[in-house]
Every structure is written in C-alpha cells, then in structure tokens.
Structure 1
Amino acid sequence: MSKIYVKQEESLSIKFTHQMKVGDQRRLDLYFFLPKEMGINSQSLDAEEYYFAAIAGRRSYYSSGLHLPLVQGRFISQNKRTVEEFRLYLNLFAYQFAVAIETDSKELAQVEDVEQFYTSLKELSDIVAQLLKKFRRNEPSDPKWKHYFENSDNYLSWFCEQRLLQLISHAPRSSDYNELTEEVLSLCRSERAYREAKNYNSAQTKDDPNRISNKMLLLRRLIQQGVVLKEELKTLGVGLKKLTTGVATGGVMLVVSALIIKAQGVFNGLTLSLVLTLAVIYGFREIFKEDIRNALWRVIQKGRPRWSRILRDTTTQAVIGRQLVWLDFIKSKDLPEQIEEILKRRHSQNKVDSEILHYGIYSRIAQKDFLAGYSTIQEQVNFSLVPFARYLERGRAKIYKESAGQVSYDSVERRYQVNLILMLREGRNPPQYARYKITMNRSTMVEVTESQLPDGMTLIGGEQDSED
C-alpha cells in the first residue's frame, strides 16, 4: 500500500510526501475545510494567486537506501562505471542526505520539551557524524571523479554544520545539557576544520557570509543535477477562456443591439430621449458583461484541471511523468459521498460551517524505466498557511479566576481548527482516505494530528480503520 506522509514543516506550513514507481497512475485530492469565521473564501483569497505564492513542490528521484550510502553499495567496481553514472549516484545520495537533515532539523526545531529536544539533537548529530564518515570512506582517487565528490563533500559538511548551529541557537535553555551542547559544537568545529584542511573554500569566501552562502547555493544546484526533475508548467484553458469571453461579449451585444433597434423604433430621429436611452443601454452592458463572462467561465471551468505539468529527466530530457493539477473553492454539494461521511463523524462541537478549498493532483508516470539505478520518484508539496493566518483575529481573550479572595486572569489565544481530508485513488483500486486536524492561530500552527476514520473506510497506506 502507498503511504502519504503529512506533517508540519515550519511554524505555518504543512507538507505531504509520497513516492511513485514506473507506470503508476495516482489521483490525490486534499480538501481543506476552513471555518467561515476565519473569513477565507473565493472573494478574499484568489486560488490562482495562492497556488503560485504559497504552494511549492519538488519532484526528484528517490532511493530508500539513505542510511547506507549509495556510493558504497553501487561502486564496488568503479572501473565499470562512467563518470556520468558516478555523478548521478553521488548526487542522489548527497541530495537525499541534505533533504533528510533539513527535514529532521525543521521537525526538531518545533519541539518545545527540553528533554525530548536534546535527546533528539544528540541522535541527529550522531547520524550526521556517522553518515559523513561513511560517505568519505568512498572518496575516489581518480581526479576526474574526485572533483564531483569534493563538491558534494564541501556542501554536506557546511550544510550539516549550519543546521546544527541553527538548532543550538534556538535551543531551550538548560544547564543540564551543557555537555551535550558542547559535543554538538565540537562536531561543528571539526567539520569547519575539515573543510579548511581540504582547502575547499578560499579565505575571501570563508570570511564573507554572502560569498559562502552563494557558493553553497551553487553547489546545491550542482548536486540536484540529474536528481531533481525538470518541470514544465502550463496553464490550461487559456484558449477556452478567450472563447468564453467572446461568447459572453457576443451574447451581450446581441441583446444590446436588439434594445437599440427597439429604442430607435420608439423614438423618431435623434432626440435627447434616444441619446439617454442608448447611454443607459451601454451602461448596463458594461455592468453585466463581466458578470456574465465570469459566471459562464465558472460553469465551464468547474471540475476541470487548471494546470498541467511535464516532468523531465534533466540529463536525458526524457519525459518521466505528466501531472494535472486542480485548485479551487468548491461547494459542499460537490464533495464525494465518502468525504461527507467522514465529516459526519466529527464531534458535535466541531460541526461548523466551512469554506472548502480543494487541491487535486493526478500523476501518470511513464511506463519505461528510469535511469539505471533509479526506481522511484518522490514528490514533496508544501502548503504555506500564511495567507490563511493574515485573516485571523489578532487579539487575545482573558480567562478570570478567583482564589482566596484574589481575582487573577490568564491570557488565552484565539485558535482555529482546519480539517484536512485526503483521498487517494491508485489505478482501479478502491479509494483510500486520511483525515487530519490542523490547529492554528494567527502566528503559528499549534499541532497537526491524524484522526480516525469511520468503519469500512481504508486508511491511506494501512488497513481498514475504525472509530472509537
């Protein structure tokens, strides 16, 4: 069974991740149920603007062997590999290594419990040290291969150091963990000394934050070469929208022309009354032309995808997959019956009127094999909730209490609960579902929790689930 992971990415964003193999056909629908009290709807939030400003995705080759470096398992006989193959496998490991550290560090940054934070920090630093050590055991001696290795090694060393330092700078303060903090800082110092011993960066670059940052961005792009798929996004329905505009304008002009002819029959000659009547007719044309066009376009666009995306291998330029993307506010009557059934099982206090934002993506992966050694594509899509948060109330309420004749109060924040329901359809298999509750306020996302499904519904990536 396929598994789709949904988790909090940063303070106000969530991410879903899943993998697809050769020949897969998959439709994934996400329904965001936004309480009406949030003030978010099709009039206040433009779906197209939200798509380009707040939804970011990346599709790349993927291997589950991250903790066993690919350079170790796939280059036992390096002489049988070409330079390009070496670079591709090296990039795959380095890219996944960087993404894994980035993801783990972002999750760790959200941990507020002191003990859990430092325990996880210790585990993360140990994994970093272990993977870097294994990675460097496979440093090639051939100069034509060594250059690519040094680029990856330089970036991974710097990136891991930066992530660990960032975590320490925002860590909960506790003197009980000074020794652990010193261990992590020692790892960071050793990585900095390692890069200096290897002469990876010039003195001018090391001393200038802008130069070192830009250089590492360049190395990151080089690492992504051949791993991250090239995307070609196309807006659908452009010609159809022009045709709709033409039909709407033609229909309005037909009515206007009929009214003008009628007015000329009523008024003899060019009189002031005729001029005023024509002015009123043209005025109503301008008022209703846009409304008629928009109404007609909504009817035609309903249920149709907004964008198409072609995924290409950056090395061979071969088409790896195609996708269709939907994003729009929909009405409750347009929901699938199974989604409505899931909503009915909510607790009574959570049954509030909601605006429904629907995001859908249909993926069709090519039947032909990927590059040698690749068998899976991973897609990660981030949804920023910042555009949602700006509509929320900023103020805080107060809860009063009395104790021994003294009245005190606690400040409480206004929280909102967004329901997120996923529906996955793979080929001709029955749909699978998952439901999440996103609790947020204006400044942050409090928590993301997965809820149980009604009896008889299959959980995404699991067996049939039941409700308490």
Structure 2
Amino acid sequence: MSKVRIKQEEALSIKFLHQMESGDSRRLDLYFFLPKEMGINPQSLNEEEYYHSSITGRRSYYSSGLHLPLVQSRFVSQKKRTVDEFRLYLNLFAYQFSVAIETDSKELSQVEDLEKFYHLLDELSEQVIHLLKRFRRNEPSDEKWKSYFENADNYLSWLCEQRLLKLLAHAPRSSDFTEVSEKVVALCRAEALYRQEHNYNSAQTIKDPNRIANKMLLLRRLIQQGVVLKEELKTLGVGLKKMTTGIATGMVMLVVSALIIKAQGFFSGLTIALVLTLAVIYGFREIFKDDIRNAMWRIIQKGRPRWSRVLSDTTSKNIIARQLVWLEFMRKKELPEAVSKILTKRHSQNKVDSEIFHYGIHTRVSQKDFLAGYSMIQEQVNFSFVPFARNLERGKAKIYKEQDGKISNESVERRYQVNLIVALREGKQEFQYARYKITMNRSAIIEITESDLPSGVACMKEAPFEEELKGASPLAD
C-alpha cells in the first residue's frame, strides 16, 4: 500500500491522502497531464482562482485504530484526567468516527453491483451498531464532562442515521435484499428514538430541517476543536509582484516618453496630427502595459511557491507544521527526467499533446509541540474537476448495429483520459513515483487506475498506511 493514496471523492473530484510523523520533511508533487482537446490552458484557467475555489484541504491529528480514545482500557480511568484532556480525547474519537462513516458511505455509494452493495451495506450497519455501543458504554457520570459527551453522541447518532438513509434513498431497488433494507431502516429509527429519549434536540429543532442541519454543523465544529489544525495561509511574492508592476510600467513609460519626444520634434507646434499621434501612443501603452507585466511576472514566478501555510494547534497555539504550495502550468521541457521517462511508457494511442498542470506541497513537521500522546498528522486534499468538465464536449455520436434486419443505435459518451504522476520525496531521500490514469466525461470521473512504471524508476514504497477505512479506522473493531 502506497504512502500516498489517490482515490475518487465525489462524481467530479479526487483526493490524495497521506500521513506524516513528527520531524518529517516531505515534498509531494502531482503532475496532471490534461489533453489539449479538453481546452484547459493558462488562458482558460487561472491558477489562483482554481486554488481558492476548487482545492480544499483538511489537516488534523491522527491516531490509528489501535490507539483510539474511549476504546483504550486506560481511558476508563477518567478521574485521572482533566476536563480538557477528556474533551480532546473525546473529540479525536468523534472526529475520526465521523470522517470514517463519511468515507465508507461515499465508497459504498459508488458500488454498482447489487449483491455487493447490499452485502457491504449490511456490514457497515453492523459496524455502526457495534461502535456506537462501545462509545456509549464510556458515558461519564460527572456533569462537567457529560455535556461534551452528549454533544458528540448527538452528532454521531444523527450523522450515522443520515448517511445510512442517504445510501438507501439512492440504492437500487431489489426485493431480494428487503431484509437488509429493513434492518438499516430499523437502525435509523432506533437512533432517532434514542436522541428523542435523551432530549438531545427540541421538538422545534427536529421539525425544521434548517435548524437541525445548522445545529449539527455547530456540533461538528465543536468536535473538531483541538483535533483539526488551525491554518494560516499567506500569499507569497506580493512585494515582488508590486515591484514587477513598477518595472513594467517604467519600461513602457520609457518607450512612450521617447516616442512623444520624437513626435514633438516631427510636428511643429500643437496640431491635430500631433494630438492624434499622442492618442495612438497612449492607446498602445494601455494595450501592452498589462501584457508586459504579466509576461514578466510569469517568468519571475516560474518555479517559485505561490503560498505558505502555517498549521498550529488550536489549544496550545504551538506551530505543528509549515508548508509551501506550488500551482502552475509547466512546459514539457521543464519536467523532471524521471517524470518524462514515465510518460514514454504510455501506449501509442494515449500519446496525445497535453497541458501540464503541476501542484506541489513541501511540508516540514515540528519535532515537538504535538498534542500529548500523538505523533502523527493527516492531510487530505481534494481537487475538483468541475472547472475542467465545463470545457468538455457532450457525447453526440451514435453507434449503429443491425440484428435480424432491424437497425438500432446507441448514444456514445465522449471520454477523456487524464494522466497523473505523483512524486514523493522524504527528507533527503530520492524521489519515489506512482502513475494513475483518470478516465472522465463531462458529468463524472469513470475510474481511476494505477499503472506500472518503467524499469529504473523508483516506485513509491509500500508502507503501513492508516486511513479512515474499514480495518484501519474507528469503524474497525
């Protein structure tokens, strides 16, 4: 299993997920090769706008399933802990549980095989029942701690109910699996009754979808307190950009001033011809000033990080990690040699001209100042392909076939293949690589498959990988 996981998130988005320990220094580069026929290029896609609108990330403390709070025997001794410690351990468990059920339900919603879907749905409901029971067995008796537990219990109960109902609402109908459907519905009813018996939500709140949704959003934020790291994003090169603008303006004005002096020497006195000439000169100045500035800025900015991010603990305010972020279009000759070598392994029919879109992130994790008991943070970054899909053509072609003298036709969707090469370097080690093929159309990502690498290229080494999935998550026993 790779140190970095690439997987589909929603219909038109992918995510990468990785974990880092204290003291780690990691450089991660993603090279997207977008076929030119998709129409994605520096003129149609602004990197900065794409970053702020279509790239979202989440960084938090992480603990493997073996160390989940409230499942550890040492957690039973609550009197030896402070209220703050109890809340932090509780929040970590609730947060990882909520992310786990979200991840598993999203994966399950993409399963098309009917029998496999209901089998996995049955497994998921069993895991939810099992873990909620274990969670509630550790309910504290102390009133000063009980409110934190009730907030987490309320949210987890509601979230599990909503995720299971959503799966059933969009599930393929089949009388063969009525028993599983009824079992899941019974679980959802039981959770709704449980919240009602404990008076977690008022009658007015339950009846109003807006109120209940906003209350649960608030509870989610309370659960994230102390677990999700605070982020401070800063745009780099602001001063350098201003200086570039000044230099570009100065260069343009130098040329304009020279032309004005020559024009005044050519025309005697203030004439209509002189006025028209000056108007043309100033018009050209306005046309080319921005082009010259943008060209200079692209040259100066090439290869430089665009943003810096500081990750800090929301409780102690200690800095946990620092990051530098790159996002830019590249030319083929600027690619690392190993990446170019990987591209040569493509089949001949896949060797189409592409625009290269590069995302890079360099993280330095602090060797200290972690929350007590934790030495690992997890980062998940989502890339939305919606801006890419806007430019794609809808399938208009038809395939005809003849059978028994009757001619029929079927519409054919237009598909595109995006190649993705991931490069990872830890500390001063050599880069390791992985290659993926992303097949998509205008409405969805069809599949993501990992491809073999050519000999001589270091493949991303296998390593134990903790993720919010069955077997390595709060949903595991």
Q: Same fold, TM exceeding 0.5? A: yes
Comparing 281-290 and 119-128, the one that deviates more = 281-290
Task: Give the partner amino acid of 2:309.
Answer: R
Give the aligned partner of residue 231 of structure 2.
Answer: 231
Give the aligned partner of residue 143 of structure 1.
Answer: 143
Q: Distance in 1 between matches of 2:138 and 2:375?
A: 23
CA displacement, residues 197-234 of structure 1 (integer Å, 9 cap, x when unaligned): 21111111111111111111110000000000111111
Task: Give the partner amino acid of 2:6.
Answer: V
User: How far is 1:458 from its partner?
Assistant: 2.5
Q: Distance in 1 between matches of 2:67 and 2:313?
A: 25
Which residues of 2 match residues 90-239 of structure 1 at below 5 A? 90-239=90-239
Q: Distance in 2 between matches of 1:39 and 1:188?
A: 46
Task: Give the partner amino acid of 1:116.
Answer: K
Task: Give the partner amino acid of 1:157.
Answer: S
Cα separation, partners in 2 of 1:348 and 1:361, compared to 1, 3 Å: same
- Partner of 1:316: helix, strand, or coil? coil
Taking only aligned residues, the RMSD between alpha carbons, in angstroms, comes to 1.5
Q: Distance in 1 between matches of 2:256 and 2:315?
A: 58
Q: Distance in 2 between matches of 1:270 and 1:205?
A: 77
User: How far is 1:404 from its partner?
Assistant: 2.4
CA displacement, residues 12-59 of structure 1 (integer Å, 9 cap, x when unaligned): 111111001111111111111111111111111111111111111010
User: How far is 1:68 from its partner?
Assistant: 5.3
| Identical columns (%) | 75
Give the aligned partner of residue 379 of structure 2.
Answer: 379
Task: Give the partner amino acid of 1:364.
Answer: R
Contact 1:307 1:326 in 2 (8 A): yes
Which residues of 2 match residues 55-454 of structure 1 at below 5 A? 55-65=55-65, 69-454=69-454
Q: Distance in 2 between matches of 1:74 and 1:396?
A: 63
Q: Distance in 1 between matches of 2:160 and 2:69?
A: 16
Q: Distance in 2 between matches of 1:235 and 1:260?
A: 39
Contact 1:4 1:461 in 2 (8 A): no
- Partner of 1:173: helix, strand, or coil? coil
- Partner of 1:413: helix, strand, or coil? coil
Q: Distance in 2 between matches of 1:263 and 1:206?
A: 78
Task: Give the partner amino acid of 1:370.
Answer: F
Q: Distance in 2 between matches of 1:199 and 1:123?
A: 29
User: How far is 1:66 from its partner?
Assistant: 6.7
- Partner of 2:166: helix, strand, or coil? helix
- Partner of 1:10: helix, strand, or coil? coil
Cα separation, partners in 2 of 1:410 and 1:105, compared to 1, 3 Å: same
Task: Give the partner amino acid of 1:456.
Answer: G
User: How far is 1:177 from its partner?
Assistant: 0.2
Q: Distance in 2 between matches of 1:74 and 1:261?
A: 85
- Partner of 1:396: helix, strand, or coil? coil
Q: Distance in 1 between matches of 2:233 and 2:39?
A: 31
Q: Distance in 2 between matches of 1:167 and 1:126?
A: 15
Q: Distance in 2 between matches of 1:369 and 1:317?
A: 9
Task: Give the partner amino acid of 1:49.
Answer: E
Q: Distance in 2 between matches of 1:262 and 1:364?
A: 57
Give the aligned partner of residue 466 of structure 1.
Answer: none
- Partner of 1:309: helix, strand, or coil? strand
Contact 2:395 2:411 in 1 (8 A): no
- Partner of 1:228: helix, strand, or coil? coil
User: How far is 1:456 from its partner?
Assistant: 2.3
Contact 1:417 1:438 in 2 (8 A): yes
Contact 1:231 1:311 in 2 (8 A): yes
CA displacement, residues 128-170 of structure 1 (integer Å, 9 cap, x when unaligned): 1111111111111111111111110110011001000000000
Q: Distance in 1 between matches of 2:65 and 2:266?
A: 84
CA displacement, residues 237-295 of structure 1 (integer Å, 9 cap, x when unaligned): 11111100000001111111122222222333223333232222222211211111111
Cα separation, partners in 2 of 1:318 and 1:75, compared to 1, 3 Å: same
Q: Distance in 1 between matches of 2:25 and 2:84?
A: 30
Cα separation, partners in 2 of 1:74 and 1:388, compared to 1, 3 Å: farther
- Partner of 1:381: helix, strand, or coil? strand
Which residues of 2 match residues 450-465 of structure 1 at below 5 A? 450-462=450-462
Task: Give the partner amino acid of 1:34.
Answer: L
**How many pairs are equivalent?**
463
Give the aligned partner of residue 11 of structure 1.
Answer: 11
TM-score (structure 2 length as normaliser): 0.94
Task: Give the partner amino acid of 1:94.
Answer: A
Contact 1:139 1:146 in 2 (8 A): yes
Cα separation, partners in 2 of 1:65 and 1:10, compared to 1, 3 Å: same
Contact 1:435 1:451 in 2 (8 A): yes
- Partner of 1:457: helix, strand, or coil? coil
